[in-house]
Structure 1
Amino acid sequence: MPRKFDTAVVTIGIDPGKNILHLVGLDARGEIVLREKVVRARIVSRLANMPPCLIGIEAGMGTHYVTRELLALDHDVRQVPPVYAKPFRQTHKNDFRDAHAVAEAVQRPTTRCVPPKTDEQLDLQALHRVRYRLVGQRTAIINQIRCFLVEHGITVRQRLHWLRHALPDILAQRTDVLSPRMVRILEDLAQDWRRLDDRIEAVTDEIDVLSKNTEPCRHLMTIPGIGPIISSAIVAAIADGAAFTRGRDFAAWLGLVPKQISTGDRTILGRITKRGNRYLRMLFLQAARVVLLRPRNWMQHSFGPWLAAAAQRLHHNVLATALANKLARIAWSVLVEHRVYETRLSTAAV
């Protein structure tokens, strides 16, 4: 049976933990009428008999599943980013005060909440995270091999393929400076490198197949510089882009806009904010640098006049960031309008 004070609850704030969730419920006047701890496995049964209400849960690990389960109970469930809930926390931090802050933040119309991800999005996001970890491990092994070789006076040109090509000859011919133990260590590291290459290739192939079979990804891949990896990462992060009202908001969420510190009539712009999805921001910057490597193609991508003028006055890193911002806004537009990217060439350019 529902508890007596459950009928007065209008808003609930949830602070998620690994095993225990802290709940704080507010009535119509904002008074606390519910305050308890619930085991994660019982959160759905605890709120099943309550009248539909507004529920805010701090976005984090495992909250997408809880959100979908509570939405099925006709509750209005929204995931609140921690950065939006923090200003509402009073005095010292604890779990119940965090839950209270979430309940206060979710009631504000300006709070931008995180839409729940589907199982397909979570699977695609998991593939990207696994691939990112594997690439990092491979980079660590390559750097370790280079360090061991440098300690023995052997240097190899930068870039991965030069070391891969030179390592077998070094192990076979430079026994004058490499001890048998060091040769064995380097061979073991080379085997680890090959295993990671196979894992990365398998995950990349799986992402490629998913991208080619997903219509939003195919639309995104028509944008210059965006391929299967970036397109699938965008879909995994924002789905159809409905969480943002315009492309500028998406670029701001990625942290690709300058930090503004303005007062009075003075507008002061600093470095980019670097907020939001760090992995996706890195991919957009890589896409921008790929486009910048081919100036001959700028005109056919309809970037020609703007990009050529910007290249004359901006540092190459600033130019890459500006182009990444533009690509992000184009990507949002392609997702929202469900269409492919179309180049627009002026009559003079043609």
Structure 2
Amino acid sequence: MPTAPLPPIATLGIDIGKNSFHVVGLDIRGVIVLRQKLSPGQVEARLANMAACLIGMEACVGAHHLSRQLLALGHDVKLMPAQFVSPFRKSHKNDFRDAEAIAEAVQRPTMRFVPTKSVEQLDLQALHRVRARLVSQRTAVLNQIRAFLLERGIPVRQRLRSLRQALPDILAQRTDVLTPRMTHLIEGLMQDWQHLDECIDAVTGEIEALVAADEACQRLMSVPGVGPIIASAMVATIGNGAAFQRGRDFGAWLGLVPRQISTGDRTVLGRLSKRGNTYLRSLLVQAARVLLLWPAKWRQHSFGEWLIAASMRLHHNVLAAALANKLARIAWSVLSQNRTYEPRTAAVMG
């Protein structure tokens, strides 16, 4: 007897792996009608002949590429943060249960989704990740040089410029405590330092060239404290900001709001939640700290009066985090409303 055809698939959950993808399909009633393991090359061919349906995946490496492919086939593809999928997984963890949990989670009307990144966004994001790795390696080299000098009783100020200026004189004059072997080691580290500087400058120059040709980045750079690095990192991360309904949501996603632990009528606000994109949050906090160095210029900004009042009652670190949150909300408004930052100094003075 011929086998009965499978019920039409309404929802599909795909668990992405390095060498294999696990697929679970649900019909309109939520019953599992498909469980299949596919190789990466088989996914697009398998779904090309399938009727358009809702497809869920975790936002991870390779998800954005596959999402663009499936969107081109007419499917409705949604990406979700992995931590929001975990509560839907039943019992012990395996790949098919992960795919089933994804299929269950993607149907929730209150689920938070991650927009599919374009190829340009992924390229820009890759440049930032390479630059961050190079900066981290340079910091490690500087710390090692400074530690070697401290072991010989030679303290150097922490600023990069101070170490750069002091090293030639130290190597030439402090031969009484620096052995030839140690001098040779430090000279080798200086060569590594120079090479990393050149690599960082090259990647930074490439980012700045992309920023100069991007309208959204140019509008973001009108926000106080936002330069090419922050503007490009924000565009690479959130695109036009459509994933957030308001700037407050973006600030909370970055982890720039207090952690809330509330029950009943009692509300407790703790330290910063530090959730979301660590890299972008650290850049915004650094921008806020730079703005705080110039109190004479605070009144030039639309938030100048707030900043002056907050500086009288908040600790410097708390003030930096609060200002970073405000900068994030302003930047989101600039992106989502397709406009430039308006200081409104005339209105404040009036």
* TM-score, length basis structure 1: 0.97
Instruction: Specify whether residues 192 and 316 from structure 1 end up closer, same or farther in structure 2 by C-alpha distance, changes over 3 A only.
Output: same
1:36, CA displacement in angstroms? 1.3
1:94, CA displacement in angstroms? 1.2
Name the structure 2 match of 1:340: 340
Q: How does 1:86-125 map to 2 (within 5 A)?
A: 86-125=86-125
Residue by residue, what CA displacement relative to the aligned partner does 1:285-307 show, whole Å, maximum 9, x if unpaired?
A: 11111111111111111222111
Q: Is the 8 A contact 1:5 1:33 kept in 2?
A: no
1:8, CA displacement in angstroms? 2.1
The secondary structure found in structure 2 opposite 1:267 is strand
Name the structure 1 match of 2:325: 325
Q: How does 1:306-317 map to 2 (within 5 A)?
A: 306-317=306-317
Q: How does 1:165-244 map to 2 (within 5 A)?
A: 165-244=165-244
The secondary structure found in structure 2 opposite 1:261 is strand
User: Please, which moves more after superposition, 56-65 or 172-181?
Assistant: 172-181
Unmatched 5+ residue regions in structure 1? none
Q: Distance in 1 between matches of 2:194 and 2:165?
A: 13
Residue by residue, what CA displacement relative to the aligned partner does 1:99-154 show, whole Å, maximum 9, x if unpaired?
A: 11111110011111111111110110011000000000000000000111111111
Q: Distance in 2 between matches of 1:6 and 1:130?
A: 47
Instruction: Specify whether residues 242 and 6 from structure 1 end up closer, same or farther in structure 2 by C-alpha distance, changes over 3 A only.
Output: farther
Name the structure 2 match of 1:258: 258
Q: Distance in 2 between matches of 1:33 and 1:77?
A: 19
Q: Is the 8 A contact 2:19 2:39 kept in 1?
A: yes
Residue by residue, what CA displacement relative to the aligned partner does 1:269-299 show, whole Å, maximum 9, x if unpaired?
A: 1111111111001111111111111111111
Letter in 2 for 1:265: D
Q: Distance in 2 between matches of 1:304 and 1:49?
A: 59
Q: Is the 8 A contact 1:7 1:51 kept in 2?
A: no
Q: Distance in 2 between matches of 1:279 and 1:256?
A: 13
1:126 is aligned to 2:114: no
Q: Distance in 2 between matches of 1:7 and 1:164?
A: 70
Across the aligned residues of Structure 1 and Structure 2, the Cα RMSD in angstroms comes to: 1.3
The secondary structure found in structure 2 opposite 1:268 is strand
Name the structure 1 match of 2:270: 270
Residue by residue, what CA displacement relative to the aligned partner does 1:295-350 show, whole Å, maximum 9, x if unpaired?
A: 11111112221111111111111111111111111111100111110012365635
**How many residue pairs end up in the alignment?**
348
Q: Distance in 2 between matches of 1:99 and 1:33?
A: 13
Identity %: 64
Q: Is the 8 A contact 2:13 2:23 kept in 1?
A: yes
Residue by residue, what CA displacement relative to the aligned partner does 1:25-66 show, whole Å, maximum 9, x if unpaired?
A: 111111111111111121101111010000001110111000
1:145 is aligned to 2:163: no
Q: Is the 8 A contact 1:68 1:116 kept in 2?
A: yes
Letter in 1 for 2:199: R
Q: Distance in 1 between matches of 2:286 and 2:144?
A: 25
Instruction: Specify whether residues 4 and 210 from structure 1 end up closer, same or farther in structure 2 by C-alpha distance, changes over 3 A only.
Output: farther
Letter in 2 for 1:103: A
Q: Distance in 2 between matches of 1:173 and 1:292?
A: 39
Q: Is the 8 A contact 1:260 1:268 kept in 2?
A: yes
Name the structure 2 match of 1:73: 73
User: Please, which moves more after superposition, 163-172 or 49-58?
Assistant: 163-172
Unmatched 5+ residue regions in structure 2? none
Name the structure 2 match of 1:51: 51
Instruction: Specify whether residues 50 and 156 from structure 1 end up closer, same or farther in structure 2 by C-alpha distance, changes over 3 A only.
Output: same
Letter in 2 for 1:38: L
Which runs of at least 4 in structure 1 moved beyond 6 Å after TM superposition? none
The secondary structure found in structure 1 opposite 2:110 is coil
Q: Distance in 2 between matches of 1:254 and 1:5?
A: 47
Q: Distance in 1 between matches of 2:238 and 2:298?
A: 28
Residue by residue, what CA displacement relative to the aligned partner does 1:61-100 show, whole Å, maximum 9, x if unpaired?
A: 1110000000011000011111110111111111111111
Q: Distance in 1 between matches of 2:279 and 2:126?
A: 13
The secondary structure found in structure 2 opposite 1:24 is strand
Q: Distance in 2 between matches of 1:266 and 1:173?
A: 64
